[in-house]
Amino acid sequence: MLPIVQTGDPVLRALARPISRDELPDLAGLIAAMRDTMRAAPGVGLAAPQIGESLQLTVIEDLPEHQDPSRERTGVPFHVLVNPTLTVIGDEVVDAYEGCLSFSGFVMIVRRARRVHVEALDENGTPVVIDASGWYARILQHEIDHLNGILCCDRMDSRTLSTTENHQRFAAIATKPSGDTSLTVAT
């Protein structure tokens, strides 16, 4: 596992360096370590700046068991994006809670575009084009923001910032039927 850099580290605020195709073969070990670190955290994405490497590189995976149709969340297989560019599709936006491995222990509501178009290279230098919506579009925006020195707290509704524990605790209370005062932690 690689150590995950926390907010306040200057690498998270820098514009990450593009990667040449010639460099890609040398990055296989780093990509594997990023994948393992993301899975162990656990997370759905990890950008190279989050492990202290100022490179235009991110890994993404959202396991099928986390599907949630109400959030337009479906499984996304593991993949690598190198030098991605993102274009918003349409005007539709969605507000939802996000967390970040580099802002450990906190969640916040972030407004994101519902649909995006991404062009990148994969780990072999093959061009990749992605049109995504819902939760996958949110993940892409979050990870590509990291490559541009932007954190989710820069885009948050500041009044919604909460510890993960309090978010789970009070969201559970807010959704209980009237008269039920027992405390259940939502997971």
- C-alpha separations of 122 from 88, 127, 135, 145 in Å: 21, 6, 21, 18
The verdict on whether 65 is a catalytic residue reads no
- pTM for the model stands at 0.90
- Give the type of residue at 144: I
Predicted local confidence at residue 178, as pLDDT: 43
Predicted local confidence at residue 65, as pLDDT: 85
Q: Which CATH superfamily is domain 10-161 in?
A: Peptide deformylase (3.90.45.10)
Query: How far apart are the C-alpha atoms of 167 and 163, rounded to whole Å?
Result: 6
Predicted local confidence at residue 172, as pLDDT: 63
pLDDT at 180 over 70: no
Given the residues 53, 119, 143, 165, select the one marked as catalytic: 143
Range 73-82 average pLDDT: 95
What percent of the residues of the chain are helix, what percent strand, and what percent coil, each to the nearest 5?
Answer: 35, 30, 35
> pLDDT tens-digit profile of 110-126?
999 999 999 999 999 99
> pLDDT tens-digit profile of 131-144?
999 999 999 999 99
pLDDT at 15 over 70: yes
Burial class (CB in 10 A: 0-12, 13-18, 19+), 150: middle
Residue 186: pLDDT band with limits 50, 70, 90: very low
- Give the type of residue at 112: R
pLDDT at 183 over 80: no
pLDDT at 44 over 90: yes
pLDDT at 174 over 60: no
